[in-house]
Structure 1
């Protein structure tokens, strides 16, 4: 946790701010023009697909005739777009699909309600929805996209797609899980890719455990004389060679200069080949080290109704994708601790976090409430962020959830060392003001699973008074 001091580094005087404001205004004009050009390009390419279909009408082998017509048109357009005909043919198919099957998305894009990145996400995720149910998915997806950046909405749209899909996520997951496998893809220079197709929660847990084990190895380097706090950017030049053998650490580890990616790969290989890491800096003599005791951590949000088996709604694996209800129930049943979330009855925002075993309650609540870095547009998971005092402790700010928020290292530095300013409102809402005066409201993101129960049809009872959403 850090204070909120600002040095204004790199911003200069008010003249620089005015120049930046002019650049921002120009950028808005460029963005509008680019959007119009992108939409026109999509419609031109979609029209090319229609033309290919019309040219092949009545042919005895219609599929082959359409393919040949499409190839000819793509080759013609490839010269204009300075691309290969294969690329143009793929883009024609994508444009035709977008124009024909996503009319609401096209209309929202043309109206400036969403941007090209939103359109790609909607099209990528919407393809799993049967055509008859896609309009409802589009409507809900567009509403979500209007409130957040493209890189943040993908997980939410996956949850929307799961709810709209006529087949349950559990049923489809069971079919997909039957295809789990491990394969090897040979590569150049004596290297290969080992590919494991696994349920998402298992794959995410494997990566988490490898990362935690790699950090144990890297964090042991200061004992051998390497200064500084290691991070994921460590490279082959980050460690200082040493020949000391204190604390039972041999020279093979003291000279270790592997990056965290290399350590992860090596530990992964050791675990699969030998069962335990061959190189454990925490081991002493015949006593096992702590690496084998490290277990994977995943953050899952699941409704109480799903836990009780009353429904099969998918749960949310934070920062990844939905997981099936059966897996969520199994994780909850085997967990040594879990958090009960109290959410706002209208907005769904996390208000309180009641730990089953009350340890580090404040950090748990903030991670549950924030889910990711709270700087506009950033989705770095909260478990990889730092806690920041909105009002600096040196200025009287309290160490309380109403004055704390998760920020990644990059945006923590932006807050401290530039003219960006933030105010925290009740409910965890952050209001950011840029150096040019533009305001960005960052509401605390509600969990993607449903925590509220809709009123039954025809209910005559008056609902209890609830406070307005934050």
Structure 2
């Protein structure tokens, strides 16, 4: 079958294998995803995100994941869909996910790939929390250097620091960086196993969060959520009205740039007004959001507008008149209020 598909579509054997695998999964295990594809809500590439991330789970788990995704696929970019699939897989198959994670973490490695014009690429396959910490540490050091040395770009500073640290064989200790992990209290205590979020990566399982939290160097910050929506109401000590506390709230609530399709972590983004302050925009959690520098400036370009919808939500209008809605993802699934069984008196 694979060879025949490769000939029919003039693609490689590996590409044909992925087409066949995705098609079989959609027909036999993912009816809701198939329906979204048939309705034009997603394309085949987005559908392949669902099939690829569920290929190692049982039919029962695949059905639960597919049901979870019903109504959550339209209007989302491939990476956002991938994060939702990963969240659902961890939610419905925590033990299987952990077994697979243990095996993959045992395969950590680095590799060297030579390229053209005197350049080569060194890459590492590492546990996500370690890779994120490395990148955050190097980025902060690069920003500090960039403030003193404008002759090199920020990327050049990152690359130079990366090389310096790897070549410092007699170095002592290891640079530490503040990475952001967002976790439900019930998952942190082990009462539930809902996935948490590692900023810049996506969902991670509860057991990994508890390992990170148990590290003596970890720092905890309190986040208060609305149980009926999962949205964050307060972050850190005190109220959220002073600017510093407001910034903590927004970065914790948004967790990444809120522009559709952009996933730059909030700690590397800017907190700014949706309706510009100069246009009487209010400085509060409804009219402020996290946005990377590019998308923060985009709304000031001719023809672009952004309108707040509340709690960081935005309606973006492009120069061609198209509109797109962006809403921060809740920290956890909505939870119904417990029934009151107290007998009347």
TM over 0.5: yes
Structure 2, unmatched stretches of 5+, are none
Quick check: 1:386–1:406 contact (8 Å CA) kept in 2? yes
Change in CA separation of 1:347 and 1:272 when aligned onto 2, cut-off 3 Å: same
Structure 1, unmatched stretches of 5+, are 1-48, 50-69, 227-238, 240-256, 278-291, 463-470
**Match status 1:408 vs 2:292:** yes
Quick check: 2:22–2:47 contact (8 Å CA) kept in 1? no
Counterpart mapping for 1:291-306 below 5 A? 295-306=176-187
Shift of 1:316: 1.3
Counterpart mapping for 1:260-275 below 5 A? 260-274=154-168
Write the distance in 1 (CA, Å) between the matches of 2:6 and 2:312. Answer: 54
Write the distance in 2 (CA, Å) between the matches of 1:356 and 1:301. Answer: 19
Write the distance in 1 (CA, Å) between the matches of 2:229 and 2:115. Answer: 52
Residue 53 of structure 1: aligned partner? none
Shift of 1:122: 1.0
Write the distance in 2 (CA, Å) between the matches of 1:455 and 1:391. Answer: 35
Quick check: 1:339–1:356 contact (8 Å CA) kept in 2? no
Change in CA separation of 1:306 and 1:93 when aligned onto 2, cut-off 3 Å: closer
Counterpart mapping for 1:181-260 below 5 A? 181-185=108-112, 187=114, 193-221=121-149, 226=150, 239=151, 257=152, 259-260=153-154
Change in CA separation of 1:422 and 1:129 when aligned onto 2, cut-off 3 Å: same
Residue 304 of structure 2: aligned partner? 420
Change in CA separation of 1:322 and 1:109 when aligned onto 2, cut-off 3 Å: same
Which secondary structure state, in structure 1, belongs to the residue aligned with residue 140 of structure 2?
helix
Residue 392 of structure 1: aligned partner? 276
Write the distance in 2 (CA, Å) between the matches of 1:298 and 1:216. Answer: 18
**Match status 1:319 vs 2:203:** no
Write the distance in 2 (CA, Å) between the matches of 1:176 and 1:357. Answer: 42
Q: Deviations over 1:393-433 (max 9, x none)?
A: 22333333333222222222221122222222332322333
Write the distance in 1 (CA, Å) between the matches of 2:273 and 2:64. Answer: 41
Bigger Rg over Cα: 1
Write the distance in 1 (CA, Å) between the matches of 2:239 and 2:99. Answer: 33
- Looking at secondary structure, tell me which structure has more helix per residue: 1
Quick check: 2:6–2:15 contact (8 Å CA) kept in 1? no
Query: Which of 30, 51, 66 in structure 2 is aligned with 1:138?
Result: 66
Write the distance in 2 (CA, Å) between the matches of 1:336 and 1:84. Answer: 47
Quick check: 2:269–2:290 contact (8 Å CA) kept in 1? yes
Counterpart mapping for 1:274-289 below 5 A? 274=168
Which secondary structure state, in structure 1, belongs to the residue aligned with residue 95 of structure 2?
coil
Counterpart mapping for 1:55-134 below 5 A? 70-71=2-3, 73-74=4-5, 76-77=7-8, 81-84=9-12, 87-88=15-16, 90-134=18-62
Write the distance in 1 (CA, Å) between the matches of 2:179 and 2:302. Answer: 34
Residue 342 of structure 1: aligned partner? 224
Q: Deviations over 1:247-272 (max 9, x none)?
A: xxxxxxxxxx4x44443333233223
Write the distance in 1 (CA, Å) between the matches of 2:72 and 2:219. Answer: 32
Write the distance in 2 (CA, Å) between the matches of 1:75 and 1:101. Answer: 23
Which secondary structure state, in structure 2, belongs to the residue aligned with residue 416 of structure 1?
coil
Quick check: 1:340–1:356 contact (8 Å CA) kept in 2? no
Scaled by the length of structure 1, what TM-score is found?
A: 0.62
Which secondary structure state, in structure 1, belongs to the residue aligned with residue 227 of structure 2?
coil
Which of 1 and 2 has higher RCO (CA within 8 Å, sep 6+)? 1
Quick check: 1:205–1:297 contact (8 Å CA) kept in 2? yes
